[in-house]
Amino acid sequence: MNLEEQVKLDNIADTDHEIFALLKQRYSPRTFKNEKIKKRHLLQLFEAVRWSASSNNLQPWRIIYAEKDTEAYQLIFNCLSDFNQTWADNAPLLMLTAYKEKKDNGDENFHALHDLGLCMGSMTVQAQYMGIGLHHMAGVNWKKAQDVFDVPNGFHITTAVAAGYYGGKLDKLPEDLQKQETSKRERMPYKQFAFKEAWSNNKK
């Protein structure tokens, strides 16, 4: 077994209850295979977004994406936090996500962020199915990104995403991140967030 395969296998979640295999396998890599994402795979990712659940079918999500070695890729990279810049250039593709703040009638779309999260969840599962890892990043200077990409008023840059095929090499990462890449994955138990019948009610 080579090092790249070991990294992927070691990151399968140790779940308390059996769940869909793609969800168990999914994790957020910081190193990726040095290979451009195939166009047909990229179109499949966006098709998964297209058919995501959306309140009133408003589909308020927007995505800016760029391939490595392009000016736009570097512009996205420059908007990332200092920490994310230590590894994100391993990705062959970078994205910025955004949402439309209001409905066409001018009312606030309170559920726009929820819909953006749903669509990126759909993209994440589709990506996992194709052997593509996504690393969603909150560490992005959204105000800078709004300006750099001339985002229209009424739209809000929210997150950045690094994307690429699994199989990256650990030595592409700083030593501290190499340890994080293979460390045991932890999650809070469901009773800390799912309450039966009343808030904080931990009935079985």
Does residue 187 form part of some domain? no
Residue with the larger pLDDT of the pair 168 and 2: 168
Q: Is residue 22 part of a domain?
A: no
Provide the pLDDT confidence category of residue 202 given band limits of 50, 70 and 90: low
Output the CA torsion sign for 176, 177, 178, 183: positive
Predicted TM-score (pTM) of the model is: 0.90
* Domain harbouring 60, CATH code: 3.40.109.10
The answer to the question of residue 199 being in a domain is no
pLDDT value at 1 more than 70: no
Q: Which domain holds residue 135?
A: 3-12+29-170
d(CA 11, CA 182): 7
Tally the domains of the chain. 1
3-state SS class at 80: strand
Give a yes or no: residue 99 inside a domain. yes
Q: Does residue 204 have a pLDDT over 50?
A: yes
pLDDT digits (tens, 9 = 90+) for 33-81: 999 999 999 999 999 999 999 999 999 999 999 999 999 999 999 999 9
Per the domain annotation, does 204 fall within a domain?
no
Alpha carbon distance 203, 21 (integer Å): 28
Q: What is the residue-averaged pLDDT of the chain?
A: 91
Per the domain annotation, does 162 fall within a domain?
yes
Q: How many other CB atoms sit within 10 Å of the CB of residue 81?
A: 14
Inside any domain, residue 160 = yes
- Mean predicted confidence (pLDDT) in 4-28: 76
Task: Quote the distance between the C-alpha of residue 174 and its chain's center.
Answer: 21
DSSP summary character for residue 79: T
Q: What distances in angstroms separate CA 105 from CA 82, 95, 118, one per listed residue? A: 39, 29, 23
Q: Per the domain annotation, does 193 fall within a domain? A: no
Read off the pLDDT of residues 162-195 as tens digits, 9 standing for 90 and up.
Answer: 999 999 988 888 888 888 887 888 889 998 999 9
